[in-house]
Amino acid sequence: MRLGLALAALTGLIAAAAAGAAAPAPPTRMSVYRPYVGGNVAPRLTVVRTTKGECFTGSLADPRRDAWRCEIGNEIADPCFSNRAVLSWVLCPEKGTPFGTNVVRLALSKALPKSLANTELPGEAYPWAVKLADGKVCTFLTGATYVYHGRRVDYGCDRSTFLAGTPNRSTATWTITLGTGAKSRPRTVPIAVAAW
């Protein structure tokens, strides 16, 4: 009798664990990075540095209209964001991710090259960054990469993890291909947040 009860309890625990493991990931949330409120820096952000530089074309990392590729000394900052109410400076996320709160205020040495601006609205084309369901943040790679199982490596997450191709948006929970090296086996992983 006791053995039967124990087996029944164990079976119930295994079934519950399996059900929990099989639970679908929540729908992907779309997020738009908004560094300005009117013509001012958004209150949630902190300007950690002010410097001079210039923006020379639309962002390669984020295809939205107000995103720019800029030079700060010998470094490239991409993306930086403009606001129609402000002509003399742009804001560049310090670590190139929309999930932080520190920004660099870039005083423009030249006017923005508006004829070279991107044309997409947030939510169109590919996201600038994604946060995976496990919390890992991956940002769009603007330089040369390589092909992984037939897809360009589009996002870098850390030194050993990358995402290939753009998100699959065919379901409420978007997915993307994750790799951990050129010869690794690809995995399909859910995206928690897609950010523009």
Q: Are residues 81 and 145 in the same domain?
A: no
Q: Are residues 139 and 76 in the same domain?
A: no
- How many structural domains comprise the chain? 2
Kindly tell me the burial class for residue 196, based on how many C-beta atoms sit within 10 Å of its own C-beta (0-12, 13-18, 19 or more).
Answer: buried
Last residue of a domain, one of 116, 151, 168: 116
Q: Are residues 105 and 137 in the same domain?
A: no
Q: Are residues 65 and 107 in the same domain?
A: yes
Cβ atoms of residues 111 and 87 within 8 Å:
yes
Q: Are residues 87 and 155 in the same domain?
A: no
Per-residue confidence in pLDDT tens, the chain, 196 aa? 443 434 344 344 444 444 445 567 899 999 999 999 989 999 999 999 999 999 999 999 999 999 999 999 999 999 999 999 999 999 999 988 999 999 999 999 999 999 999 999 888 899 999 999 999 999 999 999 999 999 999 999 999 999 999 999 999 999 999 999 988 999 999 999 999 9
Q: Are residues 135 and 78 in the same domain?
A: no
- Give the whole-angstrom CA distance, residue 25 versus residue 173: 7
Q: Among residues 33, 146, 38, which one has the least CA distance to residue 93? A: 33
Residue at 23 is within a domain: no
Residue at 24 is within a domain: no
Residue at 7 is within a domain: no
Last residue of a domain, one of 116, 148, 166: 116
Q: Are residues 96 and 149 in the same domain?
A: no
Residue 24 has what pLDDT? 76
Last residue of a domain, one of 73, 90, 116: 116
Domain with 86 in it = 32-116
Residue at 98 is within a domain: yes
Tell me which H or E stretch contains 50.
strand 46-58
Residue 182 has what pLDDT? 85
Q: Are residues 150 and 173 in the same domain?
A: yes
What is the torsion angle, in degrees rounded to the nearest 10, for the CA atoms of residue 22, residue 150, residue 182 and residue 185? 30
Q: Are residues 71 and 101 in the same domain?
A: yes
In the structure encoding, which two tokens stand for residue 185, read together? 């086996």
Q: Are residues 38 and 74 in the same domain?
A: yes
Residue at 187 is within a domain: yes
Classify strands 46-58 and 102-108 as parallel, antiparallel or unpaired. parallel
Q: Are residues 56 and 98 in the same domain?
A: yes
